[in-house]
Amino acid sequence: MTAGPMSGERGGEGGATTAPSAAPPEPPAPVPLGPGGHRRRSDLTGPALRRRRTLVLAGMAGLTLAGVLLATAGVSMVRNSTVGRYEQALGADEPGYQALVVPTPTLAVVQRAPDGTLAGMSLLALEPGDEGGSVVVVPPSLVASPDPTLTATLADVYRSDGAVGATASLGGVLAVAMGEHVELDDADWARLVDPVGPVELTLDNAVGEWAAGPISLEAADVGRFLAARDPEETDLDRLERQEQFWTAWLQQVGEGDDDAVPGEVESGVGRFVRGIAADTVLTEALPVERDDQPDGLHLRPNPGQASDLLAHAVPFPTSPVAGARVKVRLLNGTSDPSLTTEAATFLVANGSEIDIVGNASGFDVTETTVSYTGSDRLRLAAWVAAVLGTENLEELPPAEDEIDVTVVLGNDARDLIGR
């Protein structure tokens, strides 16, 4: 999963840049919980979070006992800039109905420390209608490639290629395309936080001029606080404070009025922070593992944990480069509508992107099947079938689309996913 070139410039407090895609790697592997396995979420976790995902699809897709019926009003019911818009093909209550999925909007926030180095990065993602979302905080010492033989970090890439290069590398490591990015310095943070400042939070340990215990962080000090790291500390210590800041700030923004965040409303930091603060799904540090090198601490995504986190933070990702994720058409062939949501989250956590969702040709399918067109896609189809644990693999006649694999969910799907 290597990252391709991305274009864009520094966006100031509300600026944003669009990030295109580039060239192919190997089939995806599960991506990466916070430092030492630490995890902090909002109240929306476990079954509640799964219920929310079900409602996300339900709101866009109108579920009935006849299968997954995607609402005819779906296009007009949600804003066309957010995940969950479905474009009508056949009647939503008919077998064979299929619809396109709009990807989850994403923004990379790149923080520039006072000395010009990279102080941290955060992946922001929005829920449908910009009503809620997630923040995943990322350390500068994260290795900037999924290749285990490489050791250059995001901080190294930022030093040579700036925010554009660091954003592209982050997308490659996480296998999630960054739709926009913005670079913030101390002055930008002061302007962003000022309407709701000071930010109230509690530190477990002292850092710099801030003592352990409750602190009241003035807007003008936010940039320095987020970059602060005592000599005996690592990026993991700073990462936890950055996560605490995001949690506290978003809560205060959510309790504020329409002017709680300056800048654009329809794009950039203004849009994302307002949207996420409306109903925060999670704010969490990226799950990482230490990979100490002679030149210092290096961190890599925890392969068994971050995939789950990212699948919930970015439920409908797109590949940062061609081939980083398997493009899946997901069709429900049962009378259990919740299978679509569960299968989508499962497949995304295991390296797929869901491009089309809909109904199978009938709602009495017994066994889950993975199909493909063309021998060049057999490897991808076999990989998805192995992930699902099904041996039902079939080749279909050639089709003119960009879908790699079609998954038809049968009555055995819940057992397969729950293995």
Q: What is the pLDDT of residues 313-334, one digit of tens each?
A: 999 999 999 999 999 999 999 9
Interatomic CA distance for residues 360 and 210, integer angstroms? 58
pLDDT at 81: 26
Interatomic CA distance for residues 334 and 415, integer angstroms? 13
pLDDT at 12: 37
Domain boundaries, the chain: 35-43+105-313, 50-104+316-417
The helix (run of H) or strand (run of E) holding residue 373 is strand 369-373
Q: Is the previous residue joined to 24 through a cis bond, with omega within 30 degrees of 0?
A: no
pLDDT at 263: 80
Give the chain's length.
419
Say which DSSP state 296 is in.
B
CATH topology of domain 35-43+105-313: Aminopeptidase (3.40.630)
Give phi and psi for 105, each to the nearest 5: -65, 135
pLDDT at 55: 38
pTM attached to this predicted model: 0.79
> For residues 44, 77, 339 and 335, what is the CA-based torsion angle, rounded to 10 degrees?
140
Residues of the chain with pLDDT under 70: 1-93
pLDDT at 53: 42
CA 35 from centroid of its chain's CA atoms: 18
pLDDT at 112: 97
Q: Considering Cα of 250, then 251, then 254, then 258, what sign does the dihedral take?
A: negative
Angle between helices 378-388 and 338-349 (to 10 degrees): 110
How many angstroms separate the Cα of 318 from the Cα of each of 35, 179, 180, 194?
Answer: 26, 9, 13, 34
Interatomic CA distance for residues 194 and 122, integer angstroms? 20
Residue 97's SS3 state is coil
Q: Where are the beta strands (DSSP E) in 176-298?
A: 180-184, 199-203, 213-217, 280-285, 288-290
Interatomic CA distance for residues 302 and 30, integer angstroms? 9
pLDDT at 91: 60
- What are 135's strand-pairing partners? 124, 283
CATH topology of domain 50-104+316-417: Alpha-Beta Plaits (3.30.70)
pLDDT at 71: 29
Q: Is 257 exposed, middle or buried (0-12, 13-18, 19+ CB in 10 A)?
A: exposed
